[in-house]
């Protein structure tokens, strides 16, 4: 039985599950890293290895460019670099990306138990929607909100509230699963059960033990028994 470290009680059963995308449902690190390396090489800089770009893969174009260019980033037109990275990434969205963390087994389980699910990500909606179209196993997603879908984005709780309302479930009956501090902050502020995807893009400098999540899981299927437990 999974126990909430905040309440000391068993996790509330889920009537809906909302996910972050990068680092939670989909391992996008190598496609994002390839986009960064494309820009680096184009500007005469050495490419980075997966051990360097993987921990910041969910930090967006800005985080990736800061990693790759370092202090020299201020010498370049940021908008140009960002557009180069995103243009390349858009054309190579799912070359290496795949479901991970047990998602390939967990999503059908949700469908079998009639538990609705959706995605709330800070990834631009256009890219997230294209990824869902290109990957199998994502067909039952009931709501997708990107970082530009609303005026607010995580760590604001508003996107989570909008997603829950859209699929007809109270926030208190939703789980939100993510691999970043902003995910857990948004879930806690929204009044949802907050779950850290420990298998995601978490760096050595992160302190997930201080994020205030209800629980942490190294694999999504660890949540199977808690989904409908009473």
Segment (H or E) for 217: strand 215-217
List Cα–Cα distances, 179 to 3, 25, 151, 153, 161, in angstroms. 19, 10, 22, 16, 19
What are the helix (H) ranges across the chain?
29-42, 50-53, 60-69, 78-91, 103-112, 125-134, 158-166, 181-190
- Close Cβ partners of 145 (under 8 Å, ≥ 6 residues apart): 118, 119, 120, 121, 125, 159, 162, 163
d(CA 35, CA 53): 11
| Dihedrals phi, psi of 78, to nearest 5 degrees | -60, -45
Taking CA 180 as the corner, what is the angle to CA 174 and CA 184, rounded to the nearest 5 degrees? 35
Active-site residue 20, yes or no?
yes
- Residues acting as catalytic residues: 20
């Amino acid at each position: 039985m999974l126990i909430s470290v905040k309440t000391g009680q068993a996790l509330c059963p889920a009537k809906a599950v909302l996910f972050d995308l990068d680092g939670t449902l989909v391992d996008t690190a190598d496609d994002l890293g390839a986009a960064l390396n494309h820009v680096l090489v184009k500007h005469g800089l050495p490419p980075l290895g997966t051990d360097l770009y993987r921990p910041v893969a969910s930090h967006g174009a800005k985080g990736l460019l800061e990693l790759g260019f370092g202090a020299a980033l201020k010498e370049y037109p940021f908008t140009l670099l960002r557009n180069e990275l995103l243009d390349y990434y858009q054309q190579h969205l799912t070359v290496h990306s795949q479901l991970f963390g047990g998602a390939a087994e967990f999503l059908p389980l949700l469908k079998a138990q009639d538990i609705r699910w959706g995605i709330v990500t800070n990834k631009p909606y256009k890219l997230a929607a294209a990824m869902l179209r290109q990957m199998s196993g994502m067909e039952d997603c009931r709501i997708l909100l990107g970082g530009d879908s609303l005026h607010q984005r995580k760590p604001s709780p508003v996107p989570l509230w909008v997603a829950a309302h859209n699929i007809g479930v109270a926030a208190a009956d939703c789980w939100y699963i993510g691999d970043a501090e902003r995910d857990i902050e948004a879930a806690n502020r929204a009044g949802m059960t907050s779950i850290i995807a420990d298998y995601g893009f978490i760096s050595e400098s992160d302190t997930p033990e201080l994020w205030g999540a209800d629980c942490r899981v190294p694999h999504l299927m660890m949540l199977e028994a808690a989904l409908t437990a009473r």
